[in-house]
A = this chain, B = another copy of it.
Amino acid sequence: MASRKQDASGSRLPGQDARIARRRPIDLAALNDHLGYSIRRLQIWIFQDFIRSLAEVDIRPAQYSVLVVIGANAGLSQADLAESLGIERARMVHLLDRLEQRGLIERQPSSIDRRSHALHLTKDGQRLLKRAKALAASHEERLSGMLGETARLNLLDLMRRTVLPSA
């Protein structure tokens, strides 16, 4: 995240120097009291760390969610997957196309509904997901170290009690 570099010179006089004057600390107090703003910045920070952590397998957060849910719910439909993750249909189609092109998932004809496809991981997808989960676990450990394990558990508990879908 962008963080303001403080002017190292200490004292500062009016009109002293244009470049220093432009670097005066910016007042963000009115935003920092907003939960939405704070959470958005924390979320971006966490996603950036996640992307770095999984760079080796080239898997981004939404792709990871999709692989994990297909892995735990083999044969589920595209519509159910989209609904459970709160991802809109058009974006989900694009996500699945990309994972299919990479040979990580398969769309098979559904045995229970001819209008839909049943989603499965391929062997390669299973192998990659296993490695991705290990990398995601290290990322989660790093977060835990940064936030404190109590804060991390409190946050997770808060989400479960409020906005997460009851699975």
Q: Within 8 Å of chain B (Cβ to Cβ): is A13?
A: no
- CA A25 – CA B19 in complex, angstroms? 59
A74-131 contacts to B (CB < 8 Å):
76-77, 80-81, 83-86, 112-113, 116
A20-48 contacts to B (CB < 8 Å):
21-23, 25-47
Q: Within 8 Å of chain B (Cβ to Cβ): is A9?
A: no
- Using A35-B152, A86-B44, A154-B151 as known contacts, say yes or no to A21 and B112 having CB atoms under 8 A apart: yes
Q: Which of B2, B61, B69, B155 touches A84 (beta carbons < 8 Å)?
A: B2
This chain's copy number in the assembly = 2
Complex contact A155–B39 (CB within 8 A): yes
Residues of B within 8 A of A21 (CB): 112
Residues of B within 8 A of A163 (CB): 1, 41-42, 45
Q: How large is the interface on A (under 10, 10 to 19, 20 to 34, 35 or more residues)?
A: 35 or more
- CA A38 – CA B36 in complex, angstroms? 14
- CA A37 – CA B140 in complex, angstroms? 11
Q: Within 8 Å of chain B (Cβ to Cβ): is A63?
A: no
Residues of B within 8 A of A25 (CB): 167
Q: Which of B34, B47, B147, B164 touches A38 (beta carbons < 8 Å)?
A: B164
Complex contact B29–A36 (CB within 8 A): no
Residues of B within 8 A of A133 (CB): 30
Q: Within 8 Å of chain B (Cβ to Cβ): is A143?
A: yes
Complex contact B162–A158 (CB within 8 A): no
5 A-B pairs with CB atoms under 8 Å apart are A6-B166, A22-B80, A36-B61, A38-B156, A38-B164
